[in-house]
Amino acid sequence: MPWDAVSLNDGTVMPSIAFGTWKIGNGQGPIDQVEQALSVGFEHVDTAQAYGNEAEAGQALKESGLARDEIFVTTKYSGRDGLDIETSIHNSLKNLGLKYVDLYLIHHPRLAVPDIPTAWAQMEKIKADGLVKTIGVSNFEVKDLAILLAHAKVKPVVNQILLHPYVYARQIPILEYCKANDIVVEAYSSLIPITQLPGGAVDKPVNQIAARLGAKPEQILMAWAKAKGAVVVTTSSKKERLQGYIAAGDLQLTPKDILDIDVAGAVGAHRLTAKTVLRRVAGLALITAGVLALCSYSGVDVI
Ligand SMILES: NC(=O)c1ccc[n+]([C@@H]2O[C@H](COP(=O)([O-])OP(=O)(O)OC[C@H]3O[C@@H](n4cnc5c(N)ncnc54)[C@H](OP(=O)(O)O)[C@@H]3O)[C@@H](O)[C@H]2O)c1
């Protein structure tokens, strides 16, 4: 299955792989990188106040010649300079050179000031004012989303979170909570097992699956995140790698491939004793069983 667009809970249609602009700096470099991503088929750009390069992303969008409705733009409220949400979105739109963004996120629950319900009401207002087409959150845990949903008039459409095999077990509760509440999960930093934690337990199944499918390890990790139901937010400075990311949408992992990666993720990135390995794998099974039982008890269908 390719990177089919996903329908969000308010009917918005969003491309399911995004090119992110975190850490790619300022100046001509990021303009070229965003243009390169668009040229290989990315239709979704993910930026943020905090990345400091909304202007470069906007310049690239302009230079691409794409019509506004051919590109999906996400930016985030990062609480920059202590400014409120309404002032910040006006500044972001000015930086990006756009009249609206497709998706606006609260970057982290700690930025929802003075509290989550008040900040979310401001998000609802800028949506009603047409400055953003749709609204969501990032890095929200179950307790944060529960507060938000108890007060919201408009549900968040997405929750953008850290998701890779080494954090999968601890992210199961938020993944299941989002699924039960029709909130799409966006996965960022899914390639951490390669970029920051090489040599860990995940390498073996990922490399074996990659060899079997004639694919690159980074493609397997993306296919794994996709198999978890997530939209993938990634980046690369290299055209060939970006083309590989797009091609990863066609990879088919088997249930065993996914389980092998889950189990290796639970084992962890560092050398462990057999007892710790067993404890972690049992923990993964327990969390999964607990979440499923809770959902079944609440009458929520998560399968
Ligand atoms: N909401 C949040 O709090 C939050 C937090 C973090 C990130 N994000 C979003 O997610 C986007 C992606 O974040 P990320 O950079 O952490 O994502 P990632 O997809 O985990 O990593 C992308 C990086 O992986 C490198 N890479 C890919 N394959 C590789 C390989 N085989 N060997 C070595 N390096 C390889 C790429 O380097 P090359 O350039 O060399 O290809 C690229 O820099 C960000 O730009 C941002 O938009 C959001």
pLDDT in tens, 186-216: 999 999 999 999 999 999 999 999 999 999 9
Tell me what the mean pLDDT of segment 54-62 comes to. 98
- If you measure from the C-alpha of residue 235 to the centroid of ligand 1, how many angstroms do you get, rounded to a whole number? 5
The total domain count for the chain is 1
Tens-digit pLDDT profile for residues 94-144: 999 999 999 999 999 999 999 999 999 999 999 999 999 999 999 999 999
The answer to whether residues 53 and 89 touch, using CB atoms and an 8 Å cutoff, is: no
**Which of 36, 47, 53, 189 has most ligand 1 atoms within 8 Å of CB, for mutation?**
189
- If you measure from the C-alpha of residue 229 to the centroid of ligand 1, how many angstroms do you get, rounded to a whole number? 19
Check whether 107 is labelled as a binding-site residue.
yes
Q: Pocket around ligand 1: residues whose beta carbon is below 6 Å from it? A: 20-22, 46, 107, 138-139, 160, 188-192, 194-195, 217-218, 233-238, 241
**In this structure, is residue 303 part of a structural domain?**
no
Domain limits for position 31: 6-297
**In this structure, is residue 229 part of a structural domain?**
yes
Show the 3-state SS of 102-122. Answer: EEEEECCHHHCCCCHHHHHHH
**Residue 274 in this model has a pLDDT that exceeds 90:** no
Q: Which atom of ligand 1 is nearest to the CA of 108?
A: 3
**Residue 154 in this model has a pLDDT that exceeds 70:** yes
Helix spans in the chain (H): 28-40, 54-64, 85-96, 116-128, 142-151, 168-180, 192-195, 203-213, 217-227, 239-247, 255-267, 274-297
- If you measure from the C-alpha of residue 37 to the centroid of ligand 1, how many angstroms do you get, rounded to a whole number? 13
**In this structure, is residue 1 part of a structural domain?**
no
pTM of the model: 0.93
CATH number of domain containing 107: 3.20.20.100
Greater confidence, 299 or 156? Answer: 156
CA angle 132, 107, 226 (to 5 degrees): 90
The tokens for 255 are 């249930």
**In this structure, is residue 302 part of a structural domain?**
no
Tell me what the mean pLDDT of segment 81-99 comes to. 97
Q: Which atom of ligand 1 is nearest to the CA of 237?
A: 39
